[in-house]
Structure 1
Amino acid sequence: MIFSILEHLLTHISFSIVSIRITIHLISFLVDEMVKLYDSSEKGMIMTFFCITGLLITRWIYSGHFPLSDLYESLIFLSWSFSLIPLVPYFKKNQNILSTIIGPSAIFTQCFATSGLVTEVHKSTILVPALQSEWLIMHVSMMILGYAALLCGSLLSVSLLVITVRKKRKFFATSNRVVNLNQSFFFGEMEYMNEKRNVLQNTSFFSPKNYYRSQLIQQLDYWSYRVISLGFIFLTIGILS
């Protein structure tokens, strides 16, 4: 009874922290000056990880087996994997943009796990002898970690494509404006030079906004490649086990 209450308490705490953390990340992602708000979000990410870890350990203790025997436990483990991946750039002291992109996956997974659709499988049951193999535990855990890494890598890749396409559209729009100015040279050389200077200043490639976007593209490219590679490694270990 105590473990069941503790499990429900940790479930609601982790779900609440993830929801607040995603909101803070979206605000700090749009407004760069809110440094303290971003730091509190990073601390919330660590609290979420430990809450879900405590939830899995609690489930493991009172059920007597590793929590991967049903849909509910697998979804909680998948949510734990989503909260584990963003911790890597955090401990490497890099700007953590993974939480902003991967965080919604954790909250959606945990929301579905704790919803009324899977309430019948919340109660722990005794495993049949065929499911008590240690190799089966290793196989399922590695496969779920691989799925989580591939999903995270796919989200990062899609975000990279969206940001890159938007950047190229703005670049071509700027180029077209400059070409149009070259074609309308008959309005006067002085007016042309002033207008061209204004266009280039408004779309300066060395502005803080463009620099931040370039850094964001580099980080997304860096982490998407490595997270997808890590996912294939986990899948290979899971298939071989």
Structure 2
Amino acid sequence: MMILGYAALLCGSLLSVALLVITFRKNRKLFYKSNGFLNESFFLGENVVENTSFFCAKNYYRSQLIQQLDYWSYRVISLGFTFLTIGILSGAVWANEAWGSYWNWDPKETWAFITWIVFAIYLHTQTNKNLRGPNSAIVASIGFLIIWICYFGVNILGIGLHSYGSFPSTFN
């Protein structure tokens, strides 16, 4: 359950990162073409109308893409959040049987809880129409980094009850 949850959350977070990239590239002019005497503002008439309609259509499709990325990011993260919740709860039941307590505040358990909190914040930002889009995508991007800390960082450190993936120490 945890691996399915992390996989879905990573995919949804990547969709949110793509949303952020498209949103911030929209407001930036990366290339400006000018050949000295002639630039776009020099031409008048039909070219201006055609260029205007082209840019309006381009902005329309870009806003549609942003809305679709936001929609699919929300759906995939909701699925991953469900899997993560089931994984944490079933892991707590298993821990009670194996170790005699539901929660030990082990680093892996703590980071799984932090991941759960970050994505709960993301889901709550999606309920407010003013916070959808780039605002909630920033929270999902933070969640992307948190997942990598939880999944690899804790294992590399090799401390706690879940240190099954740690590197052996070469220092004696």
Q: TM-score range by the shorter chain?
A: 0.3 to 0.5
Which structure features the higher share of helix residues? 1
- If asked which structure has higher relative contact order (CA below 8 Å, sep 6+), I would say 2
Normalising by structure 2, we get a TM-score of 0.41
